[in-house]
Amino acid sequence: MEEHTIWVTVLVNRLLGKPALALLTALHIQPANPEYPIPNHVSMELLVFLLSAIFFLWLKRRISVDRPGGTQQCMEAILTNPMNVGVRDLLEDNAGHAGARFVPMLGSIGIFVLFCNLISVVPTLESPTAVVSVPFGCAIVVFAYYNWCGLMHHGPLGYGKHFLGPVLPMAPIMLPVEIISNLARLLSLTVRLWVNMFVSELLYGLFLGLTLIVFLFAGKANALGYGLGIVPLFVPVVFILLHIFVAVLQAFVFTILPVIYVSGAVAEEH
């Protein structure tokens, strides 16, 4: 499928296209579209990063203990909230009181995935997480982070003992099973996020196309057809709502699974 370059990609390539092309040529990598070497998903990621950075820097100046505004309270709900689904709550439930030191990394990943998923609701933009390399990148970061946490906490030998299972005689069976299941975590994180985002965009586009055909067909009949033909065009709105729901849910799952992995890596066995 050929990729339609959106206006963000055009702008980013105007700014950073030449250095990017020079870097890719130096590494002997052929870009998919030499006119626009930075692809859609990379420029959308940069846009999400820029918007989040501006938003959070603006919010940081307005943080106040005595008079929190509405925005501060909304953002604090991501951290800790009455339903116990904030990042800090999840870490405390799973990793104990010392779990709060993982909040910066896991919270950042969660917020990045959330904004990447939701940005496709804006009309001319598309979701970077619908391209397989972006969720793969996020999953690699999570994989490296939880293994790093385990290594730092237990030391290499201590962390290796985790892979040998509960009892030493079972180690020859447990070791390959544990290694494969850890690699499978990488795969499942990637595919779950990518396919959910891709499919919900696909469903919306599909139903929009179908109802558009109905509208055009009804419009050819007579003027009343144009009037009544608008009604089927409201059907894809349900799919936009589904897309928003799936986006938030998948960002939540992409936060809680790394919480569980990190807690498992730094767990002390009794």
Partner 1 sequence: MRRYAVFLVAVLAVLVLAPAVFAADGAVPETNWVAITSGFAMAIASAAGGYAQGKATAGACEAFARNPGAAASIRFGLILGLVLIESMALYTFAIVFMKVK
The count of residues interacting with partner 1 (CB under 8 A) is: 15
| Residue 78 lies near partner 1 (rule: CB under 8 A) | no
Which residue's CB is nearer to partner 1, number 52 or number 133? 133
Residue from 46, 59, 85, 125 touching partner 1 (CB under 8 A): that is 85
Burial class (CB in 10 A: 0-12, 13-18, 19+), 204: buried
Residue from 162, 192, 226, 242 touching partner 1 (CB under 8 A): that is 192
Which residue's CB is nearer to partner 1, number 219 or number 264? 264
| Residue 186 lies near partner 1 (rule: CB under 8 A) | no
Determine the interface stretch with partner 1 among 8-16, 79-87, 122-130, 159-167 (rule: CB under 8 A): 79-87
Q: Between residue 207 and residue 266, which ones bind partner 1 under the rule CB under 8 A?
A: 249-250, 253, 256
| Residue 84 lies near partner 1 (rule: CB under 8 A) | yes
| Residue 1 lies near partner 1 (rule: CB under 8 A) | no
CA distances from 123 to 96, 127, 216, 226 (A): 42, 11, 21, 23
Q: Can you give the binding site for partner 1, defined by CB under 8 A? A: 83-85, 188, 191-192, 194-196, 198-199, 249-250, 253, 256
